[in-house]
Amino acid sequence: EWVRIRGGDSASLQLKSDEDAGEFLRGFASAEAGAFWSGNTSNAIGKVLVPSEGNVFSVWDIGCGQGQEALSIAALLKSRFPEKQIRVWAHDSDLLKVSNAPNMVYELSELPEWIRGATQEGRNGAIFKKEISDSVSFEYHDVLNENKLPPVNLIIAKDVLSFFPADGRTKLLADFQETLVSGGMLIIGDNERIKDGNWSEREAPGLRWYAKTF
């Protein structure tokens, strides 16, 4: 696609500025990156979620940004499994974003209709109900460092693997293998694929995810 846009000579293909890099990556990011899940996405994931065996359903959300995705999954899980305790570990290496995430306030019009029932009117706008906000732990964390988490039922790592060198991807996939429970789900970016034989690709309408093969 880059060759088509820029032409075939090597000079025009070089990335010479931040603007070039942004243009090169245009279209790579997942459709709802940094945003609340749409009703279609929440429905697609909700239909294939496997209930946890215990009383807790745990999630590891990597690259959570300002928390829209983490709050989306928390709200969905609370609706889907009201009898279970929901625990979401939301990590990001952007200190400013992850520090601001717990204090975000929204206009009701910013929120997709399906998630509005998980909010209430705050002093300056819509905030998430305590049962939702308390279920999400926002933390500054570099995933290439040691990851000490209990077993989780769902890992969300959209547009993460592609930005690490090969050894970083290998380490992270090994951490995913160790942390994800049997029968759990790994969701990565729209334009990412895992070729590692330890993972099996699964699909359902509107959704693609991975499961461990052992």
Nearest CA among 207, 214, 185 for reference residue 44: 207
Residue with tokens 């049997």: 182
Angle among Cα 110, 114, 117 to the nearest 5 degrees reads 85
Nearest CA among 57, 61, 106, 46 for reference residue 86: 57
Confidence of residue 79 (pLDDT cuts 50, 70, 90): very high
Looking at the chain, the whole-number percentage of residues with pLDDT higher than 70 is 100
Q: Would you state the pLDDT for residue 49?
A: 95
- Contact present, 213 and 195 (Cβ < 8 Å): no
- Contact present, 47 and 185 (Cβ < 8 Å): no
Q: Per-residue pLDDT tens for 90-124?
A: 999 999 999 999 999 999 999 999 999 999 998 88
